[in-house]
A and B are shown apart, each in its own frame.
Chain A
Amino acid sequence: GENVEQHPSTLSVQEGDSAVIKCTYSDSASNYFPWYKQELGKGPQLIIDIRSNVGEKKDQRIAVTLNKTAKHFSLHITETQPEDSAVYFCAAPANAGGTSYGKLTFGQGTILTVHP
């Protein structure tokens, strides 16, 4: 099965700075990589995802990059704001090409704190 490693576990930035969170995965057949934001006491919310046929995807202040050769993908948040403070999880298919369609393996999470 897939193994996903996420770093750093905590990240503290000043408002306006950029934040980068990186994940590595083990299964070269994985082709779908979502990122989720989880605020305290709430369920995770999908913020962006990328498929293996592209190397980068942007949505306003959020971008995700994918390096299939190195098997890693990163979340980039620019011009951070205090409301970006949350826990961020990356994920990859738990069994790409197998029978567990839709099942994901999650990273350990990154606690992002944006200081005003």
Chain B
Amino acid sequence: GAVVSQHPSWVICKSGTSVKIECRSLDFQATTMFWYRQFPKQSLMLMATSNEGSKATYEQGVEKDKFLINHASLTLSTLTVTSAHPEDSSFYICSAAPEETQYFGPGTRLLVL
């Protein structure tokens, strides 16, 4: 149980394009989902907290117009990186929390050329 999927697992795009990443909880409903970014050999950096049916709460320093988050249902949240640039290249991970425990997806590696 407690399986979280992410799609795509990796994506390569050209600078200036937008990329959408999906996060789904497969066997439970998640009132809250979280989006993280992780740089090589570093810890998880929380970008935003997503609650179903309401606007996401972004961490300080994260551009909400750059990283659009939509939490349309209790099992799906999406992160859209708008007008991506090479510095947005990273490993993006979502997690879903039915209660206080977070269950993570497998991550999406984004490479912007």
Point out residues on A near B: beta carbons under 8 Å.
32, 34, 36, 41-46, 49, 89, 93, 100-104, 106-109, 111
Contact = CB atoms under 8 A, between A and B. Distances in A.
B46 A103 contact: yes
B54 interface: no
6 contacts: A32-B101, A43-B4, A89-B44, A101-B32, A102-B32, A109-B43
Given A89-B43, A89-B44, A107-B43, A49 B101 contact: yes
Contacts, number: 52
Contacts of B102: 34, 46, 102, 104
Interface string B1-28: 0101010000000000000000000000
Given A43-B4, A89-B43, 20 more contacts: A41-B109, A42-B106, A42-B107, A43-B6, A43-B93, A43-B104, A43-B107, A45-B104, A46-B102, A46-B104, A93-B100, A100-B49, A101-B32, A102-B32, A102-B97, A102-B99, A102-B102, A104-B102, A106-B44, A109-B43
A63 B4 CA distance: 25
Given A89-B43, A89-B44, A103 B49 contact: yes
Nearest to A100: B49
Nearest to A36: B104
A101 B100 contact: yes
List 10 A-B pairs, minimum CB-CB distance, nearest first: A102-B97, A43-B104, A43-B107, A43-B106, A44-B104, A102-B32, A43-B93, A106-B44, A106-B43, A109-B43
Nearest to B4: A43
B58 interface: no
B44 A44 contact: yes
Interface centre among A44, A49, A101, A102 (most CB of B within 10 A): A102
B32 to A, nearest CB: 5
Contacts of B101: 32, 34, 46, 49, 102
B67 to A, nearest CB: 17
A37 to B, nearest CB: 11
